[in-house]
Amino acid sequence: MSTRLAKGGRLIDRAAPQDFTFNGKRLRGFKGDTLAAALLANDQMLVGRSFKYHRPRGIVASGAEEPNALVNMGEGGRFEPNQRTTTTELFDGLTCTSQNHFPSLEFDIGVLNNYAARFLPAGFYYKTFIHPRAAWKHVFEPIIRQSAGLGKVPKDRDADRYEQAYAFCDLLITGGGIAGLQAALTAGKAGKRVWLMEQTAHWGGRAPVDGVEIDGTPAEAWVKNAVQALEAMENVTMRLRCMAAGSYDHGYVLADEKVADHTPGDGRPRHRLWRIRAGQIIAATGAIERPLSFAGNDIPGVMLAAAMRDYLVNWAVAPGDRTVVVTNNDDAYRTAIALKEAGLEVPVILDARATVTGDLPAKARALGIRVEAGKAIAKVKGGKRVTSVAICAQAGQGAVLEEIACDAVAMSGGWSPVVHLWSHCGGKLNWDAAQAHFAPDPARPPLNHDGSALVVTAGAASGVLLAGDVLANATAAAGGDVAPVASGPVEAAMEPVWVMPQGATIDLRMKMWLDYQNDVKVSDVQLAAREGYSSVEHTKRYTTLGMATDQGKLSNINGLAVLADSLSSPIPQVGTTTFRPPYTPVTFGALAGEARGDIFQPLRQTPIHAWHEAHNAYFEPVGLWRRPYCYPRPGETHEQAVHREVVNTRTNVGLLDASTLGKIIVKGPDAGKFLDMLYTNVMSNLGIGKCRYGLMCSEQGFLSDDGVVARIDEDTWLCHTTSGGADRIHAWMEDWLQCEWWDWQVYTANVTEQFAQIAVVGPNARKVLEKLGGMDVSKEALPFMQWADGEMGGFRVRAYRISFSGELSYEIAVPASEGRAFWDALVTAGAEFGMMPYGTEGLHVLRAEKGFIMIGDETDGTVIPQDLNLGWAISKKKADYLGKRGQERPFLASPDRWKLVGLETLDGSVIPDGSIAPAPGTNANGQRNTQGRVTSTYYSPTLKRGIAMGLVKGGLSRVGETIEMTRLDGSTLQVKIVDPVFYDKEGEKQNV
Amino acid sequence: MLILECPYCGVKAEETELAPGGEAHLKRFGPGSPDEDFEAYMFARKNPKGVHFERWRHAYGCGKWFLAARCTATLEVFGTYPAQTTEPPADIVAKIMAKRPDWKGYK
Ligand SMILES: [Zn+2]
């Protein structure tokens, strides 16, 4: 069983017990425990089930690489699945439950998949996706949906808050082991602005556990001194519980600081996401121990050797009473020695190497531990816990020589440098055959903007594993030359072991796990190779090797070694899969930061917004603007409100907040020439005081934006754009002025937010303005399509006689600061004339009744003005304008193009949005031909029937024809093609 | 998240401050131009793995368009310069030639 030892544990405080629950069971640990350590201290080795076969899963590792021990943490608003117990700090009151089982962890019927393993081979998903289809739908999918899923999805709103912060430094060092600390000391003394971060809650990394001595003192003391020295440096910033998730272009690093995971509800943000810009990055990220592939290597109780040492030394937890150690290197002997010295039994060390020399094996032997060279594990026996191991020769096929009772196995297959931050932004790797791992190639680093090395590795991340080499390497990485001296035993070379025993039979290989979480075995990778998967990236996806939440931290090298062997290719030729951020998962809350709820995104509000809110406006988003869609009265639906607003505008007078309309001033000696290039028609000859509707096209000739242009004075024009288009069009103008016609003297200013603009619309519009008093707004003084500056009700105004409704209409601009007051004055003045505000939907209905197009409804980036019968707004005289050459392309002159028409049903009903007009035959892809579609469709309260606009092949030449249209649900309706102007075809009402 | 120095205001701008504008040094072909020229102007883009000239606007800074020469593979930046030019400045060309002897030129 696994237990807490009576003494020891460098990280725990026995005076501070912490109570927690696992699957409802009340357990106790100590302050300083990880959740994994506390579970093991309570003999809770079985912590979960695997994804596919639901096999019992125990704790394998002690850090971020843990593939098995994931739990659902917390409850309610603090529930979060897939939390690694090995990196979760224990706190009093912690609750967690295990994952992937039904109905319980101890008894899981999903384990039946285990016995069906031969029906769930590599590529199972792909194979069943293909055929038979019915089987997928009725058999596989229901089973997979029932059994799949890592953890549960949180149901409640996240109770915590998250924040993001920016930081800048000369040097970012990730990893707070002795390499990171030494690099920080070196760079800190040199005066660099240094950031040093460590993902765990402690500085020092492995060295204190491994008993390293540095400059004659134990590593523990050296670490303490180093931390003190760094804390005293003003130019060094240190962060614990901070994981560098990814490195990106030009020294951009995202790091997730777990501020309050271990103190939930204390008011601090749960995580802080650092967005760091570093001049250079030193990755002192250490190395991860590899498992060995032997049969039964996934049975709870089988652990990485160094992890077992961590539990013993850091938390005084013995994962087993009798531990068999199996290794291909000297480092695992440290575990055997530590276990023995703690009074635990180590019945045998199985060393796959034929000869075993070196200081550590000598010490183990001296302690009386039996060391077997050239031996391997044939099979681990046990169900939910290891009960024994069968021993065989590494060189053979697995004939059992002896069976040894034990309750734990410590395995070590060698160490792989953590190269993620190096590789994220393009650093290349070399295969180190002696140590059987990929290590960064210093000659091919990721580059910074100036071509220098953006990332440098230090310590074990560089592929150097002995403490003395680590310190020398880290010192050099930070530009120093005097490294501390570390002493330690001489270690003999490791020998790669990818399958144990070497000639293992298929029944053994089917029990050798590579990826514990996703249940990928040696036999699966070999099957993939036989089926033709020679690319490691393809094999990964086919077998799901390395695709679990641990992203293959343990499985990748072992998996690709098996693949390489199956393909008879050298390992470096097979290569690695791509390392992608994040290093360990980052919770969505941290990535979202404060951007949630009301401050999800910045909102734009007009100066009149508060009035709209006070008058029950129902808002709709228009870009970042929030505009009133309608103003429902008590008991009214939105539809009823829109109809009332439209009818009132046509019969009395309506008031519209048009402040969002884009307003761009274009000024300068060449402004007229510039606008003639920008618009399809001529703007340079527009008279001062006059307004003209204009169209802008992309260089391809497609309609991009429209609006009314007003000539202000000799060299000033004011261009109105669509509400959503103001910023885009302003940028478009600047692009042409700065990059193409930079010698033209033109100045532009986007003054959209400097003015409130209010439309007073309807037969009574003039009466309202006259009631307000001031400037002459008569037909004679201010005719249609003209503007005038003046004073109105005491306000400084600019009044435009323009209309998007077909009614008598004034759009009146006032300084933004006076917008609300002016609106209030209009509301008061309009009361006796039946004035009501109307919203954007009313605006849409009014314009559709008049057949006015709307950018984004009638246009979609493939429509030219000519398609919309707007040829009249295109100058034939101008030699050039943006889009003219594009419009010269022959296909745009085709008579087959879809053109704007009006559409109405035979019974007056409304054509559903999204309806299309099918045509006989099929196209080259075998799809049904079409001849048109609806672009805008409304109920017209003015005409009391449905009206619509659409684009139909042949356009207006087909007026009078009845065609069939198909609704989205596939049903059909008969539609008549009509003129798109449904109301006041002569345009008399707006010109009064 | 690139960093490009705005040649107008001197700010070392983060990519989030910038708006991309695609390939630089395109020649505009207007009405009456041959189809091949218009096609090249409108659609044919180099998209090299290597040296590339790009248009960027310091959109959330000074608002100016500028041009950048950089390596799309290594992200090395050879230089930035004002947009009011029809070809890369000689000093930037020289710098690229020194670092990328195989470079065939910006056209
Ligand atoms: Zn700038």
CA of B63 to the centre of ligand 1 (A): 6
Residue pLDDT, tens place only, A277-314? 999 999 999 999 999 999 999 999 999 999 999 999 99
Domain co-membership, A745 together with A675: yes
Secondary structure percentages of chain A, helix, strand, coil, to 5: 25, 30, 45
* Residue bearing tokens 């237990």: A3
Residue A432 within any structural domain of the chain: yes
**Interchain proximity B64–A738, CB inside 8 Å:** yes
A428 neighbourhood in chain B, CB within 8 Å: none
Identify the closest residue of chain A to B84 by CA–CA distance.
Answer: A739
Identify the closest residue of chain B to A700 by CA–CA distance.
Answer: B42
Chosen domain end from A157, A187, A207: A157
Cα separation, B38 vs A887, in Å, equals 12
Residue A698 within any structural domain of the chain: yes
- Say if A888 is an interface residue toward chain B (CB within 8 Å): yes
Helices A556-567 and A536-543 pack at an angle, to 10 degrees, of 110
Which one of B4, B28, B55 makes the best mutation probe of the A interface by having the most chain A beta carbons within 10 Å?
B28
Domain co-membership, A121 together with A51: yes
pLDDT value at residue A53 = 81
Query: Could you tell me if A408 and A395 are in contact, meaning their C-beta atoms sit under 8 angstroms apart?
Result: no
Average pLDDT over every residue of A580-607:
94
Question: Hey, what are A680's tokens?
Answer: 């399809």
pLDDT value at residue A652 = 98
Domain co-membership, A152 together with A194: no
Query: Could you tell me if A45 and A385 are in contact, meaning their C-beta atoms sit under 8 angstroms apart?
Result: yes
Average pLDDT over every residue of A632-651:
98
CA distance A436 to chain B (A): 28
Domain co-membership, A670 together with A708: yes
**Among candidates A977, A949, A948, A950, which has minimal Cα distance to A963?**
A977
pLDDT value at residue A125 = 61
Plot region of A921 (φ>0 → left; ψ -120 to 50 → alpha; else → beta): left
Average pLDDT over every residue of A335-359:
97
Q: Angle at Cα A846 formed by Cα A842 and Cα A850, nearest 5°?
A: 165
Residue pLDDT, tens place only, A408-441? 999 999 999 999 999 999 999 999 999 999 999 9
Residue A70 within any structural domain of the chain: yes
- Give the percent of chain B with pLDDT over 90: 94
pLDDT value at residue A663 = 98
Q: Is the pLDDT of residue B21 over 90?
A: yes
CA of A671 to the centre of ligand 1 (A): 24
Residue pLDDT, tens place only, A752-802? 999 999 999 999 999 999 999 999 999 999 999 999 999 999 999 999 999
Domain co-membership, A440 together with A330: no
CA distance B23 to chain A (A): 12
Q: In this structure, what CATH number is given to the domain that contains residue A76?
A: 3.10.20.440
Residue A827 within any structural domain of the chain: no
Query: Position A249: which residue type?
Result: D
A447 neighbourhood in chain B, CB within 8 Å: 74-76
Average pLDDT over every residue of A328-347:
97
Chosen domain end from A461, A487, A513: A487
For residue A247, the SS3 value is strand
Residue A121: pLDDT band (50, 70, 90) is low
Interface of A with B in 327-356 (CB under 8 A): none
Average pLDDT over every residue of A625-644:
97
Residue A488: pLDDT band (50, 70, 90) is confident
Q: Is the pLDDT of residue A135 over 80?
A: no
Q: In this structure, what CATH number is given to the domain that contains residue A503?
A: 1.10.10
Chosen domain end from A393, A413, A433: A413
Counting beta carbons within 10 angstroms of the beta carbon of residue A131, is it exposed (0 to 12), middle (13 to 18) or buried (19 or more)?
exposed
CA distance B101 to chain A (A): 15
Q: What is the DSSP string of A670-683?
A: THHHHHHHHBSS--
CA distance B39 to chain A (A): 10
Residue pLDDT, tens place only, A455-467? 999 999 999 999 9
Residue pLDDT, tens place only, A889-946? 999 999 899 999 999 999 999 999 999 999 999 999 999 999 999 999 999 999 999 9
Residue pLDDT, tens place only, A695-711? 999 999 999 999 999 99
Identify the closest residue of chain A to B65 by CA–CA distance.
Answer: A738
Q: Is the pLDDT of residue A874 over 70?
A: yes
Q: In this structure, what CATH number is given to the domain that contains residue A686?
A: 3.30.70.1400
Residue A150: pLDDT band (50, 70, 90) is low
The partner residue sitting opposite A888, judged by closest CB among B3, B31, B57, is: B31
- Give the percent of chain A with pLDDT over 70: 95
CA of A394 to the centre of ligand 1 (A): 66
Q: Is the pLDDT of residue A118 over 80?
A: no
Q: Is the pLDDT of residue A637 over 90?
A: yes
Q: Is the pLDDT of residue A100 over 80?
A: no
Bridge-based pairing state of the strands A349-351 and A371-373? parallel
Interface residues of chain B, partner chain A, Cβ below 8 Å: 1-3, 14-15, 19, 21, 28-33, 38, 42, 55, 57, 59, 63-65, 74-77, 83-84, 99
pLDDT value at residue A643 = 98
Residue A524 within any structural domain of the chain: yes
Cα separation, A825 vs A823, in Å, equals 5
Q: Which run of H or E residues covers position A522?
A: helix A522-530
Averaged pLDDT of chain A? 94
Residue A385 within any structural domain of the chain: yes
Which one of A249, A250, A664 makes the best mutation probe of the B interface by having the most chain B beta carbons within 10 Å?
A250
Global pTM reads 0.91
Q: Is the pLDDT of residue A152 over 90?
A: no
CA distance B107 to chain A (A): 18
Query: Position A142: which residue type?
Result: P
Q: Is the pLDDT of residue A146 over 60?
A: no
pLDDT value at residue A833 = 98
Q: In this structure, what CATH number is given to the domain that contains residue A401?
A: 3.50.50.60
pLDDT value at residue A54 = 82
- Say if A944 is an interface residue toward chain B (CB within 8 Å): no
CA distance B49 to chain A (A): 14
- Say if A443 is an interface residue toward chain B (CB within 8 Å): no
Domains of chain B: 3-99 (3.30.2270.10)
pLDDT value at residue A743 = 97
**Interchain proximity B65–A738, CB inside 8 Å:** yes
Question: Hey, what are A585's tokens?
Answer: 């998962």
Residue pLDDT, tens place only, A38-54? 999 999 999 988 877 88
Domain co-membership, A543 together with A692: no
**Interchain proximity A735–B57, CB inside 8 Å:** yes
Domain co-membership, A146 together with A166: no
Residue A887 within any structural domain of the chain: no
The partner residue sitting opposite B76, judged by closest CB among A248, A447, A888, is: A447
Domain co-membership, A248 together with A311: no
pLDDT value at residue A550 = 82
Query: Position B83: which residue type?
Result: A
Identify the closest residue of chain B to A425 by CA–CA distance.
Answer: B74
Average pLDDT over every residue of A331-346:
97
The ipTM, to two decimals, is 0.97
**Interchain proximity A248–B1, CB inside 8 Å:** yes
Domain co-membership, A81 together with A183: no
Q: Is the pLDDT of residue A2 over 60?
A: yes
Residue A965 within any structural domain of the chain: yes
Q: Which residue has the higher pLDDT, A594 or A112?
A: A594
Q: Which neighbouring-strand residues pair with A708?
A: A693
Expressed as residue numbers, the domain containing A518 is 497-567
- A173 CB-near residues (< 8 Å, 6+ apart): A180, A183, A184, A187, A194, A195, A196, A197, A281, A282, A284, A458, A478
Positive or negative torsion for Cα A523, A528, A532, A536: negative
CA of A699 to the centre of ligand 1 (A): 26
Domain co-membership, A20 together with A153: yes
Residue pLDDT, tens place only, A512-524? 999 998 889 999 9
Identify the closest residue of chain B to A677 by CA–CA distance.
Answer: B30
- A128 CB-near residues (< 8 Å, 6+ apart): A135, A136, A140
B74 neighbourhood in chain A, CB within 8 Å: 426, 447, 451
pLDDT value at residue B107 = 78
Average pLDDT over every residue of A139-166:
78
Domain co-membership, A238 together with A375: no
CA of A705 to the centre of ligand 1 (A): 27
Domain co-membership, A80 together with A177: no
pLDDT value at residue A552 = 87
Domain count, chain A: 6
